[in-house]
Amino acid sequence: MDIAKVSNGTHDAKTRTDNGCQVSASTPYTVIMRYLIIDLEATCWEKGTRPGRQEIIEIGVAMLVSPADPPEDEFSAFVRPIDRPGLSDFCTQLTSITQADVDRAEPFDKVFPRFIGWIGPQPFQWCSWGAYDLKQFRTDCRRHNIAFPESFENHINLKKRFAEHMGLRPGGMREALRRLELTLVGTHHRGIDDARNIARIVQAKPELVA
């Protein structure tokens, strides 16, 4: 369990509320750093896929309170694309996400605030396999005129860190699992399943988020 902050306290006997709990201002307290392992899925095509054209269609998150322990919580939501609402056959075959899945979903400007609310006020460090997810969040925030959260600039590229730690060229999540002798669980290219698998890599190598 990682300690994000330890207050030195004060001599003031007043109390304050921290996340709904009354804490004496004269008593040292701790705030736990949470690690959000995030994986996005987005619209794609067999030909013509490029970052500015893609839209998020799934947000999958596994929350770790300790890098070495199983996820404490998860967030999973489909997202309805607005610019090109029809999924390509290639996209459905790659991700297993269907047209019905996204047709029933809310658009990004509704899902993203709900996601931010789920994260809550406590400090967090978010991580993904590569820099793609960071760039795609920025793209969709611009598309929907949503201010990109300052807290999201604090990002760990786990693909890069894993490669540096292992002395390898950067590779895919599936290859990292193989090198750690871990079996892929769930469906590859489903956001929530990939987030869970990346969390397992972090559990095996907690120094990646140190």
pLDDT digits (tens, 9 = 90+) for 168-184: 999 999 999 999 999 99
Angle between helices 158-166 and 191-204 (to 10 degrees): 30
Would you state the pLDDT for residue 31? 67
> Do 65 and 160 fall into the same domain?
yes
Q: Which residues contact 118 (CB under 8 A, 6 or more apart)?
A: 75
Confidence of residue 51 (pLDDT cuts 50, 70, 90): confident
> Do 19 and 96 fall into the same domain?
no
> Do 73 and 177 fall into the same domain?
yes
Provide the CA 26 distance to its chain's centre, in angstroms.
35
Number of domains in the chain: 2
Q: 119 is written with which tokens? A: 């994260």
Q: Which residues contact 105 (CB under 8 A, 6 or more apart)?
A: 57, 77, 78, 79, 80, 111
Would you state the pLDDT for residue 52? 84
> Do 107 and 124 fall into the same domain?
yes
> Do 74 and 5 fall into the same domain?
no
> Do 43 and 118 fall into the same domain?
yes
> Do 125 and 23 fall into the same domain?
no
> Do 128 and 177 fall into the same domain?
yes
Give the number of other CB atoms < 10 A from CB of residue 3: 9
- 58-102 per-position pLDDT tens digit: 999 999 999 989 999 999 999 999 999 999 999 999 999 999 999
> What are the residue numbers of the active site?
41, 189
- pLDDT more than 70, % of the chain: 85
Q: Is the pLDDT of residue 131 over 70?
A: yes
Confidence of residue 189 (pLDDT cuts 50, 70, 90): very high
> Do 26 and 51 fall into the same domain?
no
Q: Is the pLDDT of residue 2 over 50?
A: no
Whole domain around residue 8: which residue ranges?
Answer: 1-32
Domain harbouring 102, CATH code: 3.30.420.10
Mean pLDDT of 100-119: 98
> Do 50 and 139 fall into the same domain?
yes
Contacts 24+ apart (CB under 8 A), 121-125: 121/19, 122/19, 122/31, 122/32, 122/34, 123/4, 123/5, 123/31, 123/33, 123/34, 124/33, 124/34, 124/35, 124/36, 124/151, 125/33, 125/34, 125/35, 125/36, 125/154, 125/156, 125/209
Q: What are phi and psi of 85, to 5 degrees?
A: -70, -20
> Do 117 and 75 fall into the same domain?
yes
